[in-house]
Structure 1
Amino acid sequence: MGDVPPKILRPHRDDVLLAVASVLAGVLLWSLGVHSTGDRHFFPAWAALVPLLVIGPMELLRRTAPRLTLAVGTAAVIADQFTVGNLGTVLVFTDLMYAAVVYGRPAMARRLPVSTGLVTVVVTVVAVAWLRTPQSLMIGVLTGIVCFGPALTGATLRNHREAAEAARLRAAQTALLAEMDRTQAVAAERARMARELHDLVAGHLSAIALHSTAALSIDSPATSREALGVIRENSVQGLAEMRRLIGLLREAGAGQDAAPVPSLDGLAALLGRARANGAASGLDFVLDDARPPGPPLPAPVELAAYRIVQESVTNALKHAAAGPVAVRLAREDGLLTVAVDSPYGDRPGPRVPGSGAGLTGMRERTELLGGTFTAGPAGPLWQVRAALPAEEKAVRE
């Protein structure tokens, strides 16, 4: 008993009812004298109950052991032909044939309709050739009804079930892929918003932190007044930038046209503000735009280049030593190159700690467009280099 699979020990409830009903119906037909073979018998009438009692319990295993039940059922229905015959035995065999196709292995399910069809044809031909009467065709018809019909019905049902299961799996896979796309889209949008928020606010907050620290550390009314003026200016500008970003998000959510995004034409104003904020630290900002006349840059490239310069300037305000900060733009061989060189080393006065998010954001912006990005010290300078595709086709690809 320990080697028998648990599922065979617990047959399906419907199979139990089917087995009991089949045996009782066969016994009832036998008691009423309803036989299927007429006078073609070699044993007493009670012998017809033996194949019935053998094949009936096979209904309990029709789902779990279809190969076994079909083999036993075939032997029982052949033996039944040598008795007075029991219609219940034949009906049970048709159900076992059907179940073997529906619940059996795929190979068996494919073979049974073909093999039973061939058996039907062979029986029909042999019967006609042997008996040579029109009634002999009925033997082939009955054979087809008993074996080929149930096999074909089971194959049709199994194909429908497999098609429905495949459709369900495809629908589940499609839903999973859609959910993954949605999750990735949300993550990408959050990362984009984080970069925009950092680039918009970090410069102003850095200037506020620097000048407020200077005002606290230097006991001079003139210095405090100048620092408060810079703090106020950056606060107002930062608030304006935040309002613009919030408005942009609201308009995009409402399906309206997006607000204008910064472009390289605004670099002069950006460096002008940085020059005013960094004057107290001995920083000067210089722009060298070496781009030749040509077609306009794609909007994503314009925005990425502007943000890279903006973040580089912010980092210079927070960390650079006194000296010139050089910003250079060039366009050649289908690439827009952005280069920012700032003095690298210790400097007197207040400094603002960094988190590294700015470098991460610049790298992400560059890689999203298929460009290259490097940043790090090179002698007395801190160098930022970004190469972005300058053609619309390359950006789309």
Structure 2
Amino acid sequence: MVYSNATSLIPGIYPDSITVVDSLAQTYTLLETLTVSKADTITVTPTTPVGLTYNNGDTITWTETVSVTPLVNNDTVTTAIYYSGTAFSGETYSATNTVFPKKAGNYVISSLITAVNYGTVSAGQLAYYQYTKYETATLSIARASRALRIANPSLTNIYAAAVNETITMYATGVGVDTVTVTWTWISGGCTVTPLGKVFSSVAGSCVVNISVPQTDNYLAASDTRTITFYLFTSGFTFAGQNAGGSHTVILDYLPRLETTTITTAADSSTTTIAPVITSITQTAGGIGSGTNTVIEIVGENFWTTAGSVTVNFGRNIESRNATSYITSRTPIKIILSIPDSYMSANGFTTGVSMGRAGVITPAGESILSTPVLRVIVVNI
């Protein structure tokens, strides 16, 4: 008889006898022994975890289970689970460690039966079973990937800067370990420092890369971004009087980046860069002198194609358009010959400023997006 089907007997040798009484009251006794042998070998097997990754130093979610088969007679057991091995960092875990590892590495899971509901257990061996066999499982905790990314400290998802401005970028998603971030210039007319400071003296694109090596708990990672450097312009909101006498001009402005794609024709006749006025002077004539007043406007990015440039003077630019008096224009200079009739019609007299002057091209139509609409005193 085997323990597996001995519902009330445990393994062992039991004396037994059978007594027979016949019709004449004669008795006969047969002595015998009953042997209950141990149940078959059982195997203790821990579960092999799958897909575990380093969790930034936090506890890894996993519930370890152990199977014990084949138990009989509704036996139940209690097991202890151990995690031994070496992390990639070199930290070791002994064969009696019961704490689930947090660091990336390769480990061995083992188990031991410590109690049974029926019978006894000694050194992990169940008394009522022929043998208790222990298997092990492999525990692998992989290195984690990094969400490495180049970021702008003030505008996280915008990669833009003004020409001649140093912009300090930084690395996010590095992880919780100590690692050196390497900044590398890839292309473009810019420079990059080891601390992520990017500078360019010309407009255009700058491609930079950051990288970190593989460490004990993280995989290597890199990120590449394109930073666009723009020429810086200012948008102005004008409120007030034209300059002259005791009037005051108030300029409220909000600096911003001009993000128009920069293109310029080979002969500089057109450009997507807004015009800039650097000086306005009277070179000849004057009101009442018998000759027209000649005004030179010097600057850059003036269009020279027909109908592409407008020149205005004074506050009311709609009625003070002087474009028809342009006699010459190049990308850097516009010359106007203005008759007395225009001067008197608009209230301009000798010794009084003509107020602000504006040069408008298709690249600078909006007063909010160009810096050319400003107060300029013309001495006449």
Could you say which TM-score interval applies, normalised by the shorter chain? under 0.3
Greater Rg, structure 1 or structure 2? 2
Say which structure is richer in helix: 1
Say which structure is richer in strand: 2
Q: TM-score, normalised by structure 1?
A: 0.20
Q: TM-score, normalised by structure 2?
A: 0.20
